[in-house]
Structure 1
Amino acid sequence: MSKIIKIDSPKIPSNLETASFQDIFYKEEPELINCAISNSQIDNESIDRLILSKVKFKSMTFLNSTFNHAELTDVIFENCNLSNAIFTSANIHRVVFKDCKLVGIDLENSSLGNVLFENCELNLSNFADSRLKEVRFDKTPLKSSNFFNSKLIKVNLIRCNINDIDFTSTKLKGIDISTCFFESINVSPESLAGCQVSSNQAIGFSYLLGLKVKD
């Protein structure tokens, strides 16, 4: 079983004020702080350098919205839909995504620290050129997701479907994928050094390395 990495939880006060995401359009700076927002649709919006701090979102949709250079600190997304949302070059720290649909989300060139993805859908997501430190993917499908040239430090992949995932130019040293399911992944033999796999997975990787396994 994978060693569970400690993830710092979002530091959110218990007495959050109820707010509307639309409040952001009446402020000089695009920011939301110390508030809770639920049951709203924020689709097809484009906000550059969005700041979210100590915010809880529940049952929200952010479909096809763009938030480049966003700063997210101490935020919870619960039962939200962020499919095809764009968060390129974002800083995401102490953030939880729980029971969320994140299909096709774009986090290219972003920095993620102390982030939890729990029971989410992350198929076709993009983490290319991103830095992930102390990040956990738990029961979260990552089929056909892109981790090209990413830096993974203390990252957990627990019971995830990672079929057809792309780890090209990404070192997997210290990463445990033994509980994950896949038929094939895109990875070079050099990147596999130090990766922790199950015995069945090891047989599959032996073919990648050009080895012939005898019964």
Structure 2
Amino acid sequence: MSTVPKKQQAPKIPARLPEANFQDVYIEEDPYLANALISNTIIEGEELEKLVLSRVKFKNVRFLHADFQRVDMTDVVFENCDVSNASFSEGIMHRVVFKDCKLVGLNLSLCHLSNVLFDHCVANMSNFYEARLKQVAFQHTSLQSANFHGTLFKHIGFDHCDIDDINLTETELNGVDISTCSFERITVDLDCLTGCIVSKDQAIGFAALLGLKVKEDA
């Protein structure tokens, strides 16, 4: 059974988008790009603050040293992209999908995410420090050593994800279902675990954190 939020909204993007060059963001006085397909290219060394993206699809795009602080995305899709070590800190994302993407070290700290899907991605060491996540789903995604310190979760789904060694300190997990996820260790505040949905095996592991000794059946 999937743990993806049922009411999550998908990006509203036309079936056909005209090909564009990322440099088109500079046509307007403020960096803005809409109704565009960016594909099979490398975006390198771009530093743009308050970039606005609307109804844009990135396909087979590699971002190198990209810094888009306070980015504003609505109806955007990243498909088979490498966005590793890029920074979208303090940004806003609404109806955004990352599919089959490499997101290692992606900085989403202090971001507001709503209706965002991470599908079959590698997001190890990604940073969600004090971000606000609503109607966000991670499915079949690796989140090893990701930082969720102080993150606000509201209607969040983790479906068959690798969450080994993630940091969940100061993050309330009430109603969050991690029962299908795999991990050997995570960092979490015990008082934030109330209401977290776990599997039987995971419950035994958390019992050890509480100092309990689980007796095997005779």
Q: Give the TM-score normalised by the residue count of structure 2.
A: 0.96
| Contact preservation (8 Å) 1:2, 1:176 | no
The share of aligned pairs that are identical, in percent, is 51
Alignment of 1:114-193 (within 5 A): 114-193=115-194
CA distance in 1, matches of 2:115, 2:24: 28
| Contact preservation (8 Å) 1:36, 1:56 | yes
2:81 paired residue number: 80
Which contiguous aligned blocks of 4+ residues in structure 1 show a shift greater than 3 angstroms? 1-4
Q: Could you tell which deviates more after superposition, 15-24 or 203-212?
A: 15-24
2:196 paired residue number: 195
CA distance in 2, matches of 1:87, 1:62: 12
SS at the partner of 1:200?
Answer: helix
1:108 paired residue number: 109
SS at the partner of 2:61?
Answer: coil
State the 1:139 CA deviation. 0.4
State the 1:89 CA deviation. 0.3
State the 1:2 CA deviation. 4.6
Structure 1 alignment gaps of length 5 or more: none
| Contact preservation (8 Å) 2:54, 2:76 | yes
2:36 paired residue number: 35
SS at the partner of 2:94?
Answer: strand
2:5 paired residue number: 5
State the 1:58 CA deviation. 0.3
More strand by share: 2
CA distance in 2, matches of 1:194, 1:32: 42
SS at the partner of 2:122?
Answer: coil
RMSD after superposition: 0.9
SS at the partner of 2:64?
Answer: coil
SS at the partner of 2:55?
Answer: strand
CA distance in 1, matches of 2:27, 2:37: 17
Q: Give the TM-score normalised by the residue count of structure 1.
A: 0.98
